[in-house]
Structure 1
Amino acid sequence: MIGVMNKPVAAAQQMVDAVRRFSRNEGGSMLIAYTVATLVLRLASNMVLTRLLEPRAFGVLGVISSVMMVLAMLSDFGFASFIIRHKKGDDPKFLDVIWTIRLIQSAVQSAIMLA
């Protein structure tokens, strides 16, 4: 009976070890996983929205989304990969500076979208 109970614990430990190995790879693996998850969520949300919205509303949403994506691509300075690869990526002061820069960037981008 004890051997049977150890199998789930061993399987869980193997899973935890696999996640740790995956995340230790200089942050590159986590960045890839984040990018893939983002793309899958975008695809899924578009599929749901096509069913929920009428065609005209979905068209308006498509135009607005396109403008927002262009602005996001133009303003992407690669902060996520920079933080992952930087030596001070865990330093709270460093993260505060990046957060402040992103806040200013988002405010400017919002002003452009509202104009």
Structure 2
Amino acid sequence: MAVLPLKQLVTIIREGETDEWGNGDAPIEFVKKCRIDEGAKIVASAQTADEVTSSASILFDKLLEIRLTDVIIYVDDNGISRTYRPIAVNVIRGLNGKAMLTEVNV
């Protein structure tokens, strides 16, 4: 059970791996429950270590493998589809050291 209510759904699209001959697999697509808090805030980019503006923060239950190359698609309550790319991924741990939430800034 999650610490926070996870009422939204996002679709995560991950590029397929390439084999030794350079042929790419089909993209992997999966749906996860999450909580999205939209709003601008300044975060440090995981790729360049510069400060960039994040437009939303997405919280997932426990430890989730999110890559910076993934594409996150969210359809809001008004039916508007938004496409995001992760800027930074943070793991929020409890006092016992276990991962409680995964925060993705997009």
TM-score band (shorter)?
Answer: under 0.3
The structure with more radius of gyration: 1
Give the strand-richer structure, 1 or 2: 2
Give the helix-richer structure, 1 or 2: 1
TM-score, normalised to structure 2's length? 0.16
